[in-house]
Chain A
Amino acid sequence: MDQKVAVGKTEQTSWKTFLTFYTKIKFPWHLLIATVILSFAMTQVNLLLVPYTAKIYAGGITESNFLQGLILWSLAYAGVSFVYQLVSGFVRIIAIRNTQRNLWSKILKLPISSYDKEQPQSLISRITSDTESAVSAPTSVAGFFASCYGLIKAYLEMSKIYDKLAFLILFVIPFAFVIIFIIGKLQYRMNFAINKAYSRMTSFFAERLANMQYIKTANVENEEYQSGIQASQIKYKADVLNAILGTLQTPIGLSVQYAIMIIVFAGGASYVRSGDMQIKGLVEFYSYSMILLPSFFEIVSQWQNIKSSHGGSYKIAVLMNMENELLKGKFAADKDPSDIQFDHVSFTYDGEHPVLSDISMTIPHGKVTAIVGENGSGKSSILKLISRFYEPGAGEIKYGQQRLSDLYMHEWRNRIGFVSQNSPMIPGTLRENVVYGAASTPSEEEFERAARLANVSEFIAELKEGWDTPLSISQTNISGGQKQRIAIARAIIKNPDILLLDEATSNLDNANQREVMQALLQAMKGRTIIMIMHEMDLVHQADHIIVMNKGSVESQGTYEELLEQCESFKTFIELQKG
């Protein structure tokens, strides 16, 4: 809700942002200028056709040269429209393409904290629907001015025929603006209500459809049917309300049309009766009024277009202005492997709940360090901070003498292999997932080695398509344990200096777990390994253990030391032994 207030406040500055948006995206200006010229040309030719239309209505088609003139100007109109469509079409699709490219590369540069705040759905709509609406403004501006020109010219022609009548129509115009303004507000509210109802209904179904197994095992099909009916009813009620309001609103909008018609027919007829005007004049007058109204509505709709384009481009501009991840650094990391030091580091994800409170500890290089503690004690955050997905709120993380925040991001991340808790896969085949870890195409040996160390080869052999098995859409065709092993192979193939394991083997059975960990520790001997796990006998293999408790370091040391000094550690071990 705060966001809405913020948007309102920055309405004025947002117009500025709106304009700068077009400079940022390499907008095809030359084409736009052509579009403007063509819009005016089209309007002009359209005006030239009006007398011909009037002659058709009045039966003056038998006049000589009539047919030739009509054909000539109609073809001219067709030709100009053709070029207009071509040019304005290209303006649109080029602008969309350029914007999407910009946005996409921007999105990839954002820090992970931005993703936590934005729903993925909204990022997607930035690239798809918001872009479409954002780029349409310049063409709408051209159309807006062309329509104004058409309106004024038509009015002038009508004045020539009978200025008193034209003057009457002038009174209708402000009246029309008021009406359209009111209707616009109404329309906006109706659209808003419909969209809201639609998305409420859609998110209801989205959640249920993703959880069908749960619904069936919980035996709640009947209850969910009723809930579904209710959700559907929400949309129905919004549709009905919309229909009723629409029926009330349209005549109000059409009243402008009625007013003009009455003026033209009743007023015109009375002037013809009194001899002030010829019937031919009435017909021509009528024909020009037929341009008047559409131009008027065009103006209004172009204006509305510009406004909604403004909304879309504002959101995009906000995105473009977000801070990038700090990829630049001052230095490359030291060649010599160094200890990682946490120096009075505090951290929170959302600014409210502290996750790490003033922790100081050393992770020795070339050794195996284990981090243990209850769930929620901050263990995963430590690994994420080392990977620099987030920045500490206070304190420093150092690599030897260098501050982590001073190092080149890509170069640092190249040194780290991170196996996170839920082993996310990327869309593609199993092979592609493993190979994703390597900086350059790995050799067959490197590939086999990684697969072997992670115990992946054995279950690959059982799949029909083996390594080329694609991950299914719902990613259910391989088990949790299999995903974990693929994620481990992916990290191994990267050949990192620092290996971070966040409960990387939790889904594996004991035998597998032991095999994989042994293989890993053997293969990565001499490198820095930091592992989070609950299996206390694997923790025994660590050179250095850190015990976390509610965001602080309770104790650190060797297995034996901790067994003596640290209460929590003792408890963990005892519980494990049963």
Chain B
Amino acid sequence: MMGKVEVNQKIRLEQPENPNRGIWKLFLKLCLKARLPYVWIIIYGLISIFNTKLYLLIPSKTGELFAGNVSVELITVIIVSQIAMSLIGQVNTLFENLATARIDRNFRNVLWDKVLKLTPSFFDKFPANSLISRITSDTENLRNFIMKVVVAELLGIYVFYVTLAQISNYDPSLTYLLLALIPVVMILSFIFGRLFMKASIQVQDKLAGLTQFISELISSIPVIKAFNKEELESKRGNQAIHQLYDAKKRLLYIGLFQFPINSIVTLAQTVTLLLIGIPLLQDGRLDVATWYAFYMFANNLLNMVANKGSQWDAIKTTQGSLFRVAHVLKSPEEGMIPYAKEAMESGDIYFNKVSFGYDDRSEVLSHATFTIPFQRTSVIIGPSGVGKTTILKLLERLYEPTSGGIVLNGSSIHEFNIRRWRQDIAYVSQEVPLMSGTIKENILFGLKHNISNEEIVMAATLANAHAFITELPDGYETQVGQFGSNLSGGQRQRIAIARAILQNPKILVLDEPTTALDAIAKSEVLEGLENLKKNRTVIIVTHDSTVIRDTDHIIVLNKDRSVSSGSHSEMLVSNSFYQSMMNR
């Protein structure tokens, strides 16, 4: 029944398709906006340069010691400079880490600022989990690029030059020989770096795939058990586990292949240096002390070069993270452009041939045309999936129609300041989200004016919530849990209604306000809602006929996507869906 596990499918969506140069520009802009801690970085650089002087001193002095000079002065110099270099290095690491922490934080803040400005359609395409990693871990990769690649390379070039200069002091021909060795080392490390990295990305992919697979299935456990699919899912899980094993095996082999090559290269490096050194020592052109210094410096140099391969890897990792972060930075914002109009005006809202689809797969609304009369109560009904909730979301300006317009007093609603617009609408959605915090905090969520406790209690009573809140041990101070999970659906709904009451909006929008309520709670909430209908435009989406009593205006979304509207009596006569709904 179920096909072979294709765990990579969903991950692929994330991989960037078109490489483009624009992202490095964006990176630069990000760095400027994030106000990098230039002072820390400069201090770090200066201390590194100073420490390099000590670094140059040590091998030659140690060489002298090994050649036979055991004077107290020399020993003291060696010991003191070793310890000094080490301690200064520690202090330097402090500055490096402080700079790192600050870059991390500033990058996160810039990204968070941008995320809050993104249009809602962005969030439909990406699960919250992938977005979190953009803010928390992709930013770290970018920071690594700055500190470990850019800054480190600049310093590395300085150290390289200085080391080479020192070596040439001993014997110029040594320099040339070394320079010949360098490209060889570089190419080899580069080649193996790439191979290793490709295999390691594969392992990461499979691991992420396995994790995703398991987390999806774990949330479906009741279904698995109810339908006795434990065997099947066990097999599918094993498939995913085996795929991960295979990827790791490949990585192991490549690592293995790389290792002997590496050792042989290192050995060749050492032997070459020895072959250079032996004749020079025999000639007397080099003495033992200078030989030791040369050997240490040359080794350091070649190791620096060999590490370039891993720098390339770091750059590749950065590129991946940069794509994801740049994607966020590039995505369209809402609410940032200047609007023609500020406050919401009074008047009917007119939907004029509005078409809309969440993605290009299907169209939810097609040329829908109807009016929402000012300060009246309208009800939107229709078969499920026909677009009722979508109308509310368009009104709330979470999305924009693909064609047609929504008009208020002759102007498109999109000309109004979006923040003010939303402030004047209270939107009680079907699946009521709450944020972790107390009940009281959630009732007050987003309200900008001061509200007394009496007003809170009054609103809660009207929403039929006060009774159950006071029955809880902590009352209004009860923690609702993440996403409000400590409360039932009906309780959350009533808290949301209490909040809407306190918001005192010009437009009140309710999406299926009574589905999670039993008969008694429902009647009490409806009673409370009656009080809210005065001097306000109220829009209710429902399929519950009891809610439809006492509404002024009925809007029916028919199956064929046409819209019919009118009063109760008009609809009862003309619209078959309405008739079947009201008939018992």
Contact = CB atoms under 8 A, between A and B. Distances in A.
A241 to B, nearest CB: 9
A159 interface: no
Given A112-B221, A509-B382, A211 B1 contact: no
A225 B123 contact: no
A85 B245 contact: no
B67 A59 contact: yes
B132 interface: yes
Contact of B516 (A232, A261, A375): A375
A169 to B, nearest CB: 16
A258 B83 contact: yes
B26 interface: no
Contacts of B67: 58-59, 279
B543 A219 contact: no
Interface string A265-291: 110011011000001001100000000
B131 interface: yes
B410 interface: no
Secondary structure at the A interface, as helix, strand, loop or mixed, is helix
Interface stretch (A29-37, A134-142, A174-182, A475-483): A475-483
A217 B427 contact: yes
A48 interface: no
Interface in A194-227: 198, 201-203, 205-221, 223-225
A568 B546 CA distance: 19
A212 B580 contact: no
A346 to B, nearest CB: 21
A513 B521 CA distance: 22
Interface residues of A, number: 152
Contacts of A441: 1
Contacts of A326: none
B563 to A, nearest CB: 16
Contact of A211 (B127, B228, B435, B523): B435
A320 to B, nearest CB: 15
Interface string B180-207: 0000000000000000000000000001
A203 B228 CA distance: 34
B435 A207 contact: yes
B125 to A, nearest CB: 8
A439 B228 contact: yes
Given A123-B218, A247-B91, A207 B482 contact: yes
Interface in A227-276: 228-229, 232-233, 235-236, 239-240, 242-244, 246-247, 250-251, 254, 257-258, 261-262, 265-266, 269-270, 272-273
A212 B584 contact: no
Interface string A117-129: 0001101100110
A572 B113 CA distance: 50
A242 to B, nearest CB: 7
A436 interface: yes
Interface in A60-101: 61-62, 67, 70-71, 74-75, 77-79, 81-82, 85-86, 89-90, 93-94, 96-97, 100-101
A210 B128 contact: yes
Interface residues of B, number: 145
Interface string B60-99: 0000011110111011001100110011001101100110
A220 B445 contact: yes
Interface in B228-247: 228-230, 233-234, 237-238, 241-242, 244-245
Contacts of A232: 105, 108-109, 112
B108 A56 contact: no
Given A218-B445, A240-B101, A265-B78, A108 B224 contact: yes
Residue in B66, B490, B520, B580 with the greatest tally of chain A CB atoms within 10 Å? B66
Interface in A419-441: 420, 424-428, 432, 435-439, 441
Nearest to B116: A221
A107 interface: yes
B384 A93 contact: no
A207 B222 CA distance: 24
Contacts of B226: 387, 413, 416, 418, 420
Contacts of B381: 509
The 8 closest A-B pairs by CB, nearest first: A481-B384, A59-B288, A243-B97, A218-B446, A239-B101, A78-B263, A509-B543, A209-B128
Interface of B: 1-2, 10, 65-68, 70-72, 74-75, 78-79, 82-83, 86-87, 90-91, 93-94, 97-98, 100-102, 104-105, 108-109, 112-113, 115-118, 120, 123-124, 126-129, 131-132, 135-136, 207, 210-211, 214-230, 233-234, 237-238, 241-242, 244-245, 248-249, 252, 255-256, 259-260, 263-264, 267, 270-271, 274, 277-278, 281-282, 287-288, 291-292, 295, 335, 358-359, 361-362, 381-385, 389, 396, 398, 419, 422-423, 425, 427, 429-430, 433, 435-436, 445-446, 482-483, 488, 490, 512, 515-523, 543, 545-546, 549, 577, 580-581, 584
17 contacts: A58-B66, A62-B281, A78-B267, A201-B136, A218-B446, A221-B335, A224-B116, A236-B104, A240-B101, A247-B97, A410-B228, A427-B216, A474-B124, A474-B127, A477-B359, A511-B581, A575-B523
